[in-house]
Structure 1
Amino acid sequence: MVAFTKMHGLGNDFVVLDERAAPLGLTPDLARRIADRHFGIGCDQLISLEAAPGADVFIRIRNPDGSDAGACGNATRCVASLIAAETGQRQITVRTIAGDLPCTILRPDRVVADMGAPRLGWHDVPLAEAMDTLALPIAEAAAACSMGNPHATLFVDDIAAVDIGKDGPLLEHHPIFPERANIGFAQILAPDHIRLAMWERGAGQTLACGSGACAAIVNAHRRGMTRRRATISMPGGDLILEWRESDGHVLMEGPVATAFTGSFAL
């Protein structure tokens, strides 16, 4: 039997498996079956913990369709809280394929993750051809950046008027995104407050998306719409984001929770 922990950050939920001692032999098909909400455990992403010399843990992130994801802010905070509970440390470094993400444990259920600096060039996102990442030709107000995975933020007057289930998948697979993209629909409520709804690449509509919130504050500030620090309100709750001026890193503060633990036959 394989033990797992079901966690979430603002309802963005994860099945966490521990492969630090030995690999479990996970395949894209197994990842899809575990993530299935009807026939498996169910999650937005499947997270595998692996040993990481020079860091506290490496996380491998798989989407419900079996594809790999480069970064996940909510999962990073959740895993940091797990490792902190094991070690008693308040400073945890979580390694991803996108780089090392230092985390600070404010309390067991609240964590700050340093998500690093956004990449802003068209080739960094990546986009299919050279263009201004602040003016994508897919909507009247749309911008792109990479937070270790490709993001596009569309600024709208009223999120309630957007058909996310229709527009999200169309934009995820738009030819401008050769590796597909996470799509955020953002409504500016105030210079320090953004409402955000997300369609995640390979996962669909989720209650929250940490890297999507990072992209939203970066793209909103680049367009002169917000300050560098703002509350990002998503269907699952609020995150506090700061695009730090001193080094360009994006800091994300928010809650983590363990829903339940269990085991299953692989």
Structure 2
Amino acid sequence: MTQTEPATPAARGRTRATPSGLRFVKGHGTRNDFVLIADTRGELDLTPDLVRRLADRRGGVGGDGVIRLVPTASLAQAGESVADDVLAADPTAIWFMDYRNADGSVAEMCGNGVRVFTAFAESLGLVNLAGGASFALGTRAGIKRVRKEADGWYAVDMGPWFLPGGQDAANGGFDAAVHVTGWDAPRPALSVDLGNPHTVVALSSVGELEALDLGRAPEVAPVPPNGTNVELVVPLGEQRLPDGSTVGRVRMRVHERGVGETPSCGTGACAAALAVRTWLAASGEVPDTWIVEVPGGQVRVRLLPGGNVELAGPAELVHAGEISL
């Protein structure tokens, strides 16, 4: 049985396993939702079975994934070499986002999850983002730096990105093929890596996007060794802002590996914008800032100097409670 309460600061206290259950907080970023656990002493054995139970929408709390906030040093002591790498790169990255997909599998990281993780850490008093301060957190895809904007959005430097297919894929526009239920034949797609794998397919219209059947996982060829998230995107053109700058717009749906279709995917939004920008680059100058519309809302993707990409969007903590083990 799950008992819930409003996610007040007191209710969001450090999650711990007790004889009766496990305390949690539920949060989401553009309706990509997560079960959050504050394992501040690094004591919880987050098994695949426990993850599946927590993420179960009928028998558990329900979520697209489970995020454990844990000291980076604890993971280093447990033998996770990536935690050693994080601390070597930045000793201030003392908190680590241990992210698991809803099926219990370990994932490199999650863009929406980083924002929700930061909101969670902020609510626990572990992070202070006042005055434009930034926060470094560890992930299996390296260090992610987060700042809070005046409108309350969290902006995350997602780090470097690349096209696994290299310049040949950029020139040709594809390096993979994707088949979705109901299509007569596979369609060309572009692979994009943001620390986790993505495969992006362009569609011709919003109507086609809305009619897709994503109840089954799209088939991708060649088969990615570690699976992939698949983004189906429709370019919506460019928009001139009052300050004279130009932003691109994209609408997207996504099927996440180990989860299924979700209302949003942060790294997927980045992949979608980067793929569309790559496809359009041959036609002339293209924007560095993109608004990506997803079923759960919208986020902003921006190319940063030096080859990194930034993701910005909302994060909300909705309730806290305790689930019987």
TM-score scaled by length of structure 1: 0.89
Question: Structure 2 matches for 1:151-166, cutoff 5 A?
Answer: 151-162=198-209, 164-166=212-214
Does the aligned pair in 1 maintain the 2:300–2:312 contact within 8 Å?
A: yes
The alpha carbon displacement at 1:105 in A equals 1.3
Question: Structure 2 matches for 1:1-266, cutoff 5 A?
Answer: 1-52=21-72, 53=87, 54=91, 55-85=93-123, 86=125, 87-89=127-129, 90-107=133-150, 109-122=152-165, 132=169, 134-138=173-177, 139-162=186-209, 164-166=212-214, 169-171=217-219, 174-191=221-238, 192-224=248-280, 226-244=286-304, 246-266=305-325
Provide the rounded CA distance (Å) in 1 between the counterparts of 2:157 and 2:94: 15
Does the aligned pair in 1 maintain the 2:176–2:222 contact within 8 Å?
A: no
Provide the rounded CA distance (Å) in 1 between the counterparts of 2:44 and 2:145: 27
Does the aligned pair in 1 maintain the 2:200–2:275 contact within 8 Å?
A: yes
The secondary structure found in structure 2 opposite 1:219 is helix
Question: Cα–Cα, structure 1 residues 166 and 208, in superposed 2: closer, same or farther, change >3 Å?
Answer: closer
Question: What's the CA shift string for 1:116-139, capped at 9, x where partnerless?
Answer: 11122249xxxxxxx736413415
The secondary structure found in structure 1 opposite 2:97 is strand
Provide the rounded CA distance (Å) in 2 between the counterparts of 1:168 and 1:251: 30
Does the aligned pair in 2 maintain the 1:217–1:228 contact within 8 Å?
A: no
The alpha carbon displacement at 1:174 in A equals 4.4
Q: Which residue of the partner structure matches residue 75 of structure 2? A: none
Provide the rounded CA distance (Å) in 2 between the counterparts of 1:30 and 1:82: 20
Amino acid at match of 1:216: A
The secondary structure found in structure 1 opposite 2:169 is coil
The alpha carbon displacement at 1:228 in A equals 1.8
Does the aligned pair in 1 maintain the 2:214–2:255 contact within 8 Å?
A: no
Question: Cα–Cα, structure 1 residues 146 and 19, in superposed 2: closer, same or farther, change >3 Å?
Answer: same
Question: Cα–Cα, structure 1 residues 15 and 23, in superposed 2: closer, same or farther, change >3 Å?
Answer: same
Amino acid at match of 1:189: L
Question: Cα–Cα, structure 1 residues 112 and 215, in superposed 2: closer, same or farther, change >3 Å?
Answer: same
Question: Cα–Cα, structure 1 residues 167 and 29, in superposed 2: closer, same or farther, change >3 Å?
Answer: closer
Q: Which residue of the partner structure matches residue 128 of structure 1? A: none
Most deviating of 77-86 and 180-189: 77-86
Provide the rounded CA distance (Å) in 1 between the counterparts of 2:43 and 2:175: 41
Question: What's the CA shift string for 1:3-46, capped at 9, x where partnerless?
Answer: 11100000000000112213211211111111010001000010
Question: Cα–Cα, structure 1 residues 204 and 145, in superposed 2: closer, same or farther, change >3 Å?
Answer: same
The alpha carbon displacement at 1:164 in A equals 4.0
Most deviating of 151-160 and 97-106: 151-160
Provide the rounded CA distance (Å) in 2 between the counterparts of 1:17 and 1:108: 26
Question: What's the CA shift string for 1:144-163, capped at 9, x where partnerless?
Answer: 11111110110101243245
TM-score scaled by length of structure 2: 0.74
Does the aligned pair in 2 maintain the 1:159–1:197 contact within 8 Å?
A: no
Structure 1: gaps of 5 or more residues = 124-130
Amino acid at match of 1:161: E
Provide the rounded CA distance (Å) in 2 between the counterparts of 1:198 and 1:157: 16
Question: Cα–Cα, structure 1 residues 141 and 243, in superposed 2: closer, same or farther, change >3 Å?
Answer: farther
Provide the rounded CA distance (Å) in 1 between the counterparts of 2:65 and 2:107: 9
Provide the rounded CA distance (Å) in 2 between the counterparts of 1:153 and 1:137: 9
The number of residues matched between the two structures is: 258
Whichever of the two has the greater Rg, that structure is: 2
Question: What's the CA shift string for 1:74-97, capped at 9, x where partnerless?
Answer: 110111122234132331112100
Does the aligned pair in 1 maintain the 2:236–2:251 contact within 8 Å?
A: yes
The secondary structure found in structure 2 opposite 1:135 is coil
Cα-Cα RMSD: 2.2
The secondary structure found in structure 2 opposite 1:132 is helix
Amino acid at match of 1:169: A
